[in-house]
Amino acid sequence: MKSFLLLPFIFISANIYAAPLKIAFGEIRPPYIFEDSNKNLTGIEFDIIREALLLGGHTISYNRLPNNRLQLAISKMNYDVAVGMLGQFPLLYSSEYMEVKNYAVAKVSKGVKLTSISDLNKYSVGAWPTAWMNSGEEYKKMFAPDAKGNFAANYSEPLNSETRSKMFWRDRFDVVITNKVTFQFYKKSLASSFNTSADVIYYDLFKENLKFRVVFKDEKVRDSFESGLRQLKRNKRYLRIFQYYIQ
């Protein structure tokens, strides 16, 4: 498996803010965000956020929070920035910094047939946390938890990508809802412990891609991030970050 290292910081001539911005990142989901061998965060998402803010003259400190607590990071937990939000709460958002396409993935040997979202009800399904509320209205009606917070017997949302991937390859569910980058990352990294050689089918059931945004406490910090993000895209650094982690 490829060894990932933190990419070098870009040299910035602007004055660095005295106090680092306190940033809340969400759950580990390689190769977008994960810990390196020294337990430091790294990955596509981490590098994009860090470098865009650095271009705006900011340094950062960070922690990880469960995805379902990210919306509280600014208002209740004294963070300056929260990363990985999907725009469903009335907060101060950036533009989209990353777009992800999800699929319903199944082993060919399972004989799964999916032509619509409703067909998922015929099978056991594993998905990412909060997928039930961020995958369209039909999906939400089918898989929203009940009043006690319990999902239907054929549906689960394991807390991290590695657990979901292991459960898929162990046949703990028939279908996993994921994106191709994450799926292929774990197909390769788990190959020494699991048989990940089975042929799979990617079912394109979801009309809209997930569009991730950053939430800010301060509008000026948001604007400096936007400027840095535009610069990353303009000079092709944004594309090179993706290429570094997925090639």
User: How far does the chain reach from its first CA to its final CA, in angstroms?
Assistant: 11
Q: How far apart are alpha carbons 185 and 162 in whole angstroms?
A: 10
pTM: 0.81
Residue 240: pLDDT band with limits 50, 70, 90: very high
Q: How far apart are alpha carbons 81 and 60 in whole angstroms?
A: 10
Residue 29: pLDDT band with limits 50, 70, 90: confident
Q: How far apart are alpha carbons 191 and 171 in whole angstroms?
A: 15
pLDDT at 228: 97
Amino acid 190 reads: L
SS3 177: strand
Integer-rounded Cα Rg, in Å, for the chain is: 19
pLDDT, mean of residues 150-162 = 94
- Domains of the chain plus CATH, in order, are 21-98+210-246 (3.40.190.10), 102-203 (3.40.190.10)
Lowest mean pLDDT among 8-12, 30-34, 190-194, 215-219: 8-12
